[in-house]
Structure 1
């Protein structure tokens, strides 16, 4: 809970400025989750790596952020929310600089991990401090501003990343963070120190943290490199799978018996929370699949510049911003489960719409499902918080919110790896099927009659088959995500109907 008069420590003339700084910091962190998506082909080409390896830039950031989110509460209690915010912001700027200067994939991934570690506290801390800056009657409007930046970040990320990659260099998608970080650090030092939270000597679950890092690290490395090593035919993949499985089991046992666990797994005893976050993870993973696949397909196969690929991806947020106010007004008047399940089914319909795409699709054919999809997003994100947090005890709200954010971020990383594997396997299957039905001799004879040489004909046929195989694999991928989204819509009904108002001030 927020002290009733804590806001009085900041002069009224400075509160709006402090709120804007906090909203800007949240916008930057959310932006960085998607800004690199459309830049992956540029990064891969510049560093001399495959596009699959380039996606480590996305997953490394997401995994590091997910692991560190559960530590946010302990860090704030131990060192103070304002102090952690300032240090994390400075660290985020430092690692952004190092990301932009990285000459190799190894250094870039390591620095993205550093970005994720520093970025993890910024989103929840900005929300916590936002509530301390404003008087009670203005906190709802302040959280609306904060939520708006959460929606705008994914919208501007692909557009900004695409423009920078096409017109400047991929390095600048990280360099642009530096002035924002500097502004936020100096503004926080000048404005936020009066509302610092109280500090206390709180124990840390070191063993649980180690186990968390161990099993998630093994799992994510296995998912990222598995497709390049023929999965379980490679001994290193088998070893990683065993380590991830054993580490996960030991982690569960330890956390359930630890007095001060790093992740409070006891919260899963609440049916509403368990099925709510299960639906969240499934739906967010299915939703994020389009954010990963579409930009790469448009750039690597259809020849789209990065900025156009970013525009197609970002259209989702146009109607999401408009409908967010409608969703907020309906909350409490309509069963939250109806809102969430209808939104999930709407997202599934959009996935089915994408499953009809062909390699000859024009810009608006690609953009329309993204645009229409935006209607559903606020009805998924906003009510789902009510479903999950209303199911837990009031003293468990902060832990439940942190665990929910952890699972959402992990779903992003896992979905990125899995969707690329499904897409890659689909390409190989489609290529084999197309080649088996193609009569190359007849095609080459027709091409030769048109003046095309034998070698040119072979290359032309190969490129056509490859392009169509990739398009068919995209359709197959979205068909599977549609199924996952329908399952998530069903899962949410295993949660009980939310009762009464929910204090979402701890949600992040």
Structure 2
């Protein structure tokens, strides 16, 4: 990389023809790999947890550790890209991601796996923001919507392939291979990207790094994440440790905000939130992603631990989410300049609300078609999720603000995804326990349905202990299902409320959409 041509200060012309196609595919491929690793482990959590001797709930740390470290690293993207150049940063990040993936596959304990997932998330931080920047610089300004659609498709395909691939590998090989497959994919993406973009390196300059801001960021996010993950285990605020973590998180956040407002070179540019479109879009996109990602985590867990799905079947049940997304995302991107982006995003959120409401009606006897139908419908919502909100978010910003804006929005989105995963799994456990207690209140000698059921089982030849064990298992499945229903229903309502954030932005439809989006580089 030392032989890269001198960084150019003037804006580079867009790519054309085969170079544009190969460049877009190469950059998107690395993004695909990154997002794939966020979803591929979801259906494999029970397998990983069982193999490493921990509970499925403890296994979810494999997901949240990646998300949180990834979120912490993203704000560094702006400083790193100016210090080393966007192309060098993107390729270095991709190669380090390959190495971290290999280490994850080689982990021999849950502690080692979580540590390597933290490393993997950290080095992956710049990949998604840089992929957006490189894609926007590759396309003509008038086709910024198409560039964002290409980027969005990769983030939509990965959640489709991830569960299927993760489930199939877990059932037919061994879970380490869900990480090992990143090695050839990552090396191919790094090589092809370097081939196309090595002569398009951006200008570099030395800037001081906000070490205080970064330290405060790590402190409050780590404290909050540990509190969310350990709260259930330590009985929440009845634990001195949880209280201490909560205090550290709150105080750390307050000092972080104060410091960043007055820092000359902040790790997070909070001034971006003065832009109405940026603020409204980031709120809708991030909280919506948190609700979506949380339900994506608990759905395969529920299917495997309660409904007796294999990892492969759970992956196939979730796979249709990307079918219509892949088809319609490019169409949405190409035609977004013709309509009000807020209307498109609102349609997406309404469909998300419908899908989650349908899932809130699941029962323990749900058939496979009933599980898959909402996933098919959700594809339409995904196609109208990332692209219009990304366009709204970037509209009105100056070209030099785009890298920081992309980094900050992805930071908040990924952080909300990690928090959403922890909150939903904790809430699911809590609601399931509540429903279990409520159902047990009806299991007494004065309830004829209960006594008749026990008598019928004993007449089939089951002993008293076997009957009680079967009843307890049935009760646990029902309680867990009702708990999951509560999470899906709340998430459905959340998407409806977030429509308010969408309409707090200013419209960018028509020719102004193309101009604003085009200014995104």
TM-score using structure 1 length: 0.93
Q: Is the 8 A contact 1:2 1:131 kept in 2?
A: no
Aligned to 1:105: 110
TM-score (norm. length: structure 2): 0.91
Note if 1:486 corresponds to 2:491.
Answer: no
**Paired residues of 2:209 and 2:265 also in contact (CA < 8 A):** yes
Higher mean C-alpha displacement, 360-369 vs 271-280: 271-280
**Aligned counterpart, 2:98:** 93
Q: Which moved more, 1:199-208 or 1:156-165?
A: 199-208
Alpha-carbon contact 1:402-1:507 (below 8 Å) kept: no
Query: Is 2:153–2:325's contact at 8 Å kept on the other side of the alignment?
Result: no
Shift of 1:83: 1.8
1:320 to 311, 319, 325: 325
The structural deviation recorded for 1:288 is 1.6
1:6–1:282: structure 2 CA closer, same or farther, 3 Å change rule?
A: closer
Is the CA contact (8 Å cut-off) linking 2:71 and 2:412 kept in structure 1? Answer: yes
Give 5+ residue unaligned stretches, structure 1.
Answer: none
Structure 1 residues 86-135: Cα deviation after superposition (integer angstroms, max 9, x where no partner): 22122111111110011111111111111111111122223333455567
SS in 1 for 2:337: coil
Q: State the Cα distance separating 1:336 from its structure 2 match.
A: 2.0
Cα deviation digits, residues 239-283 of structure 1 (max 9, x gap): 000000000000000000011111011121223322222222221
In structure 2, do the counterparts of structure 1 residues 122 and 491 end up closer, same or farther at CA, with 3 Å as the change threshold? closer
**Structure 1 residue 25 displacement after superposition:** 1.3
Matched, 1:206 2:216: no
After superposition, the C-alpha distances for 1:343-396 in whole angstroms (9 at most, x for unaligned) are 212211111111111000111110101111111222222111222222545543
What do the CA deviations read for 1:307-366 (whole angstroms, capped 9, x no partner)?
111111121111111221332244233222222222212211111111111000111110
CA distance in 1, matches of 2:214, 2:251: 15
Distance 1:241 1:313, change over 3 A: same
Aligned residues: 505
Tell me the residue number matched to 2:134: 129
- The equivalent residue for 2:53 is 48
Instruction: Say whether residues 1:217 and 2:222 are aligned partners.
Output: yes
Q: 1:268 to 1:165 in 2, by over 3 A?
A: same
Aligned ranges for residues 258-407 of structure 1 at < 5 Å? 258-407=263-412
Q: Which residue of 2 aligns with 1:443?
A: 453
Shift of 1:442: 4.2
1:3 to 1, 11, 16: 11
Per-residue deviation at 1:7?
4.9
Q: Distance in 1 between matches of 2:127 and 2:408?
A: 16
Assess if the C-alpha contact under 8 Å between 2:395 and 2:517 holds in 1.
Answer: no
Task: Return 160-169 or 263-272, whichever deviates more.
Answer: 263-272
Whether the 8 Å contact between 2:30 and 2:190 is mirrored in structure 1 is no
Worse overlay, 380-389 or 90-99: 380-389
Q: 1:137 to 1:385 in 2, by over 3 A?
A: closer
Tell me if structure 2 keeps the 8 A contact 1:355–1:475.
Answer: yes
Separation in 1 of the partners of 2:36 and 2:519? 22
SS of corresponding position for 2:125: helix
SS in structure 2 opposite 1:303?
coil
State the partner residue of 2:238: 233
Task: Please name the residue that 2:3 is paired with.
Answer: none
Shift of 1:21: 2.5
Deviation at 1:470, TM superposition (A): 0.9
2-structure distance, mates of 1:272, 1:13: 35
Q: Which moved more, 1:395-404 or 1:368-377?
A: 395-404
- Counterparts in 2 of 1:243 and 1:314: CA distance versus 1, 3 Å: same
Distance in 1, matches of 2:419 and 2:90, equals 27
The runs of 5 or more residues in structure 2 that have no matched partner are 1-8, 445-449
Partner of 1:76: 81
Q: Give the whole-Å Cα distance in 2 for the aligned partners of 1:293 and 1:275.
A: 28
Tell me the residue number matched to 1:39: 44
Does residue 1:417 correspond to 2:422, yes or no? yes
1:3 Cα shift? 2.3
Partner residue in 2 for 1:118: 123
Q: Which residue of 1 aligns with 2:256?
A: 251
Distance 1:290 1:206 in 2: 35
CA distance in 2, matches of 1:507, 1:308: 41
**SS of residue in 1 equivalent to 2:507:** coil
